[in-house]
């Protein structure tokens, strides 16, 4: 008999309204144990609001959040670590003070693990936080988060301010933690990082989850026919009515058609418009992301191209 | 849970101790320069029974050292609200537990500050050869309690006023003393019984009201004629508990 696994993090119908602004609108997703779940979105899409509501830092207007089947209660934070987008460290305290604070707050604090993380990030814990660079402050926050060996990690832009070497370290830490059974919910503006680490993603736009799923399935589900023209990309009416075409984007000289299947037929249709170049690509996460939120960005880019 | 607040308190107590040592040193220095000639006068004053009363000695210290510490520490929750809630609220403790721990550590800090102040004050009396009488009037115990409670009530009022604030807590610190003094002074204006009753009601929430005291060496005008030590003790205790409760209630409703 098969039993359905209880999601480690379950968000259902989460809505947060600030005055007349709906910061998170009926957000739902579920994350299984050991999964790395990437939350993607443009600035103001509602990612941080979702994190804050999930962790009780803000009160949701509607919806429920459960961790390992239980509603959030303070004791659960023994198993949860959170790294906020904006540095919340105390500027007048040293890195060592912050680690001591973590040690005294969490029974699961692992001093050896903390030391290994300090060695990895290589910053001076004797310095006051206000004397550390933004990247070093991020490294301290990450050290505090990973030093307790949490079951659940919620990381809001964890690589913010880090150099590429340390960004790679963070990804490795996440992958390593997930391999050890931890569940990770994180956001990042760096889609390449999400693509490398996450097994599932949700894309948020204007407070809503507009696309969610397994990264590999999402990538395999669509292809992109990309054509470059001499002048502005022409409108090809047949594309709009073709059932294989999910979406067409024109951006200056470039035309992209996102197709579910039947790529050759669509490519032939576009080729008939005499492009300078034409290629059929597998979608990467960036394509998926832009297709999901692309209206605003593509029209803004088109306007920019027209004006420049 | 309380470690960060303890670091804050420890830092402040260190600064206070250094300041008090400096003050005692200054007193000793000036006394050595100018006070030697009046030593005989001091000896005569002591012999004739002109001693500093214990309430004067204790009350001054509690008001100054305790009040100062309470004013600085009173914005503890507000300072957490200025960008640190993501750390404070993601620990395995409830918001109520966290706020209570912070306020208890601050209360301990205030008590230690008063003790440090008493030590420095006593040293100054030794240097100046001004004895302190350990006896007091019939209300001595009640007076000690009210002066001992004042810093905690003062802290509670400030923490209640500032708990919701994010950036402007220093304004509360800067204004709370002048406003409290002005409220007390306004009650003294002879504008009739209605005015007096109104200001009396307003001043019920003003801890300064309850430290009205007329002693041989110290006079503090509170304003409402709240001279009953027992009434003042109960009122200050109520303000302390009420302020803490109000601050905690606000803290529980905040959002990061």
Residue B44 has pLDDT above 80, yes or no: no
**Cβ-based contacts of B92 with chain A (< 8 Å):** 74-78, 105-106
**More confident of the two residues A222 and A194:** A194
Q: Is residue A1 part of a domain?
A: no
b/e burial code for range A130-169 (CB count within 10 A of at least 16 → b): eebeebbbbbbbbbbbbbbbbbbbbbbbbbbebeeebbeb
Q: Are residues A32 and A152 in the same domain?
A: yes
Q: What is the number of domains present in chain B?
A: 1
Residues of A in contact with B1 (CB under 8 A): 104-105
The nearest alpha carbon in chain A to B94 belongs to A74
pLDDT in tens, B55-65: 888 989 999 99
Give the pLDDT confidence of A207-220 residue by residue, as tens digits. 999 999 999 888 88
Do A204 and A226 fall into the same domain? no
For chain A, give the mean pLDDT.
91
pLDDT at B193 over 60: yes
- Cα–Cα distance measured from residue A252 to residue A300, given in angstroms and rounded to the nearest whole number: 11
Q: What is the dihedral of CA B82, B84, B89, B95, to 10 degrees?
A: -40
Asked whether residue A265 falls in the same domain as residue A146, the answer is no
Encode pLDDT of A6-46 as tens digits. 999 999 999 999 999 999 999 999 999 999 999 999 999 99
* Chain A residue numbers touching B95 (CB-CB < 8 A): 74
Shared domain for A208 and A222, answered yes or no, is no
Instruction: State whether residue B135 sits within 8 Å of chain A by CB.
Output: no
Give the mutation candidate from A50, A53, A74, A83 for the B interface (greatest B CB count, under 10 A): A74
Let me know whether A187 and A156 are in one domain. yes
- Domain containing B221: what range? 3-253
pLDDT in tens, A135-149: 999 999 999 999 999
* DSSP annotation of A19: T
Q: Which residues are CB-contacts of B125 (< 8 A; sequence separation ≥ 6)? A: B52, B57, B131, B132
Q: Is B90 on the interface with A (CB under 8 A)?
A: yes
Of the residues A180, A214, A248, the one at which a domain ends:
A214
A43/A307 Cα distance (integer angstroms): 24
In a domain? residue A195: yes
Contacts of A75 in chain B (CB under 8 A): 92
Cα–Cα distance measured from residue A271 to residue A269, given in angstroms and rounded to the nearest whole number: 6
Q: A258 with A280, same domain?
A: yes
* Structural domain boundaries enclosing A13: 9-214
> With 60 as the cut, is the pLDDT of residue A258 above it?
yes
Q: Which one of B7, B93, B95 has the shortest CB-CB distance to A97?
A: B7
pLDDT at B151: 97
- Domain match, A77 and A148 both: yes
Which residue from A minimizes the CA distance to B85? A88
Instruction: Classify residue A215 by burial, with Cβ atoms within 10 Å: 0-12, 13-18, 19+.
Output: buried
β-pairing, A21-31 vs A62-67, is unpaired
- Is residue A2 one of the residues assigned to a domain? no
At which of A214, A236, A266 does a domain end? A214
Whether residue A3 is contained in a domain is answered as no
**Quick check: is A232 in a domain?**
yes
Strand locations in chain A, DSSP E? 9-18, 21-31, 36-41, 62-67, 70-71, 80-83, 152-156, 183-187, 200-205, 208-214, 223-228, 245-251, 254-259, 277-282
Whether A135 and A231 map to the same domain: the answer is no
Bridge partners for A247 per DSSP? A258
Distance CA A94, CA B79 (A): 17
Q: Is B4 in CB contact (< 8 Å) with chain A?
A: yes
The total number of structural domains that make up chain A: 2
To the nearest whole percent, how much of chain A has pLDDT over 70?
Answer: 94
Q: What is the pLDDT of residues A186-206, one digit of tens each?
A: 999 889 889 999 999 999 999
SS3 category, A26? strand
Contacts of A52 in chain B (CB under 8 A): 255-256
Q: Are B217 and B226 in contact (CB under 8 A)?
A: no
Structure-derived torsion over alpha carbons of residues A24, A30, A32, A36, reported in degrees to the nearest 10:
-30
Spatial CB neighbours of B98, under 8 Å, sequence gap ≥ 6: B1, B88, B89, B91, B251
- For chain A, say whether B91 makes contact (Cβ under 8 Å): yes
B232-255: pLDDT as tens digits: 999 999 999 999 999 999 999 999
Considering the domain architecture, whether residues A145 and A197 belong to the same structural domain is answered as yes
Q: What is the Cα A298 distance to its own chain's centre?
A: 20
Residue B18 · residue B118 · CB < 8 Å: no
Per-residue pLDDT tens for A57-113? 999 999 999 999 999 999 999 999 999 999 899 999 999 999 999 999 999 999 999
**Same domain as A244, residue A202:** no
Provide the whole-model pTM.
Answer: 0.86
A214, A236, A269 — which closes off a domain? A214
* Rounded Cα distance, A4 and B55, in Å: 72
Q: Do B86 and A81 touch (CB under 8 A)?
A: no
> Per the CB < 8 Å rule, is A97 touching B93?
no
Residue of B nearest to A148 (CA): B91
Q: What is the C-alpha to C-alpha distance for residues A256 and A268, in angstroms, rounded to an integer? A: 13
Which stretches of chain A sit within 8 Å of chain B by CB?
Answer: 52, 55-59, 74-78, 80-82, 84, 86-90, 92-93, 97, 100-101, 104-106
Same domain, A203 and A269: no
Whole-angstrom distance, CA of residue A169 vs CA of residue A120: 8
In this prediction, residue B46 carries a pLDDT of 55
Which of B84, B90, B94 is facing A90, going by the closest CB pair?
A: B84
Instruction: Look up the CATH number of the domain holding residue A66.
Output: 3.40.50.300
A185, A225: one domain: no
Residue B217 pLDDT exceeds 70 = no
Q: Is B97 on the interface with A (CB under 8 A)?
A: yes
Among the listed ranges A224-238, B131-145, B165-179, B198-212, which one has the minimum average pLDDT value?
B131-145
Q: Which stretch of B118-127, B136-145, B164-173, B198-207 has the lowest confidence by average pLDDT?
A: B136-145
User: Does the beta-carbon distance from B91 to A81 stay under 8 Å?
Assistant: no
Q: What is the pLDDT of residue A237?
A: 87
CATH of the domain at A231: 3.30.70
Element (H, E) at B214: strand B213-214
Nearest to A30 by CA among A223, A220, A218, A185: A185
SS3 B131: coil
The residue of chain A with its CA nearest to that of B90 is A77
Whether A101 sits inside 8 A of B90 (CB atoms) is no
């Amino acid at each position: 008999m098969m039993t359905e696994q209880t999601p480690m993090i379950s968000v259902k119908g989460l809505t947060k309204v600030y005055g007349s602004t709906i910061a998170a609108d009926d957000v739902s997703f579920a994350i299984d144990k050991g999964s790395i779940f990437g939350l993607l979105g443009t600035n103001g899409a509602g990612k941080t609001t979702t994190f804050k509501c999930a962790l009780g830092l803000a009160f949701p207007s509607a919806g429920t959040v459960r961790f390992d089947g239980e509603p959030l209660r303070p004791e659960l934070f023994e198993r949860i670590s959170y790294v906020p987008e904006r540095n919340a460290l105390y500027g007048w305290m040293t890195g060592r003070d912050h680690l001591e604070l973590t040690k005294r707050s969490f029974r699961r604090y692992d001093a050896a693990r903390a030391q290994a993380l300090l060695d990895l990030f290589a910053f001076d814990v004797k310095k006051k936080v206000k004397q550390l660079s933004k990247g070093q402050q991020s490294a301290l926050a990450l050290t505090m988060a990973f030093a307790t060996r949490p079951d659940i990690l919620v990381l809001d832009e964890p690589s913010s301010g880090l150099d590429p070497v340390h960004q790679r370290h963070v990804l490795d830490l996440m992958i390593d933690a997930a391999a050890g059974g931890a569940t990770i919910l994180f956001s990042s503006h760096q889609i390449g990082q999400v693509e490398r680490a996450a097994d599932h993603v949700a894309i948020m736009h204007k407070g809503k989850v507009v696309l969610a799923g397994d990264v590999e399935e999402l990538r395999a589900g669509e292809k992109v026919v990309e054509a470059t023209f001499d002048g502005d990309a022409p409108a090809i009416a047949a594309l709009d009515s073709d059932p294989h075409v999910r979406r067409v984007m024109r951006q200056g000289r470039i035309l992209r058609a996102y197709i579910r299947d039947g790529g050759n037929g669509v490519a032939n249709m576009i080729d008939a418009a005499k492009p300078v170049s034409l290629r059929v690509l597998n979608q990467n996460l960036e394509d998926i992301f832009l297709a999901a939120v692309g209206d605003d960005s593509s029209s803004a880019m088109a306007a920019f191209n027209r004006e420049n | 849970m309380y470690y960060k607040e303890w670091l804050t308190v420890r830092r402040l107590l260190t600064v206070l101790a250094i300041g008090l040592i400096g003050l005692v040193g200054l007193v000793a220095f000036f006394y050595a320069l100018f006070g030697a000639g009046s030593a005989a006068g001091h000896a005569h004053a002591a012999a004739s029974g002109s001693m500093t009363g214990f309430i004067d000695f204790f009350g001054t210290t509690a008001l100054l050292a305790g009040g100062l510490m309470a004013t600085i520490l009173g914005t503890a929750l507000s300072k957490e609200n200025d960008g640190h809630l993501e750390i404070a609220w993601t620990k395995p403790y409830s918001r109520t537990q966290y706020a209570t721990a912070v306020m208890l550590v601050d209360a301990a800090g205030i008590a230690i500050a008063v003790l440090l102040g008493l030590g420095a004050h006593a040293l100054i009396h030794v240097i100046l050869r001004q004895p302190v009488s350990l006896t007091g009037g019939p209300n001595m115990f009640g007076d000690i309690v009210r002066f001992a409670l004042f810093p905690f009530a003062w802290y509670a009022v400030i923490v209640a006023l500032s708990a919701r604030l994010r950036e402007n807590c220093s304004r509360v610190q800067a204004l709370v003393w002048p406003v409290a003094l002005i409220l007390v002074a306004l009650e003294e204006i002879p504008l009739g019984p209605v005015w007096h009753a109104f200001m009396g009601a307003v001043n019920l929430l003003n801890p300064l009201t309850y430290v009205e005291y007329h002693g041989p060496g110290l006079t503090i005008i509170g304003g409402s004629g709240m001279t009953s030590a027992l009434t003042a003790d109960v009122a200050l205790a109520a303000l302390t508990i009420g302020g803490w409760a109000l601050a905690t209630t606000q803290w529980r409703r905040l959002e990061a």
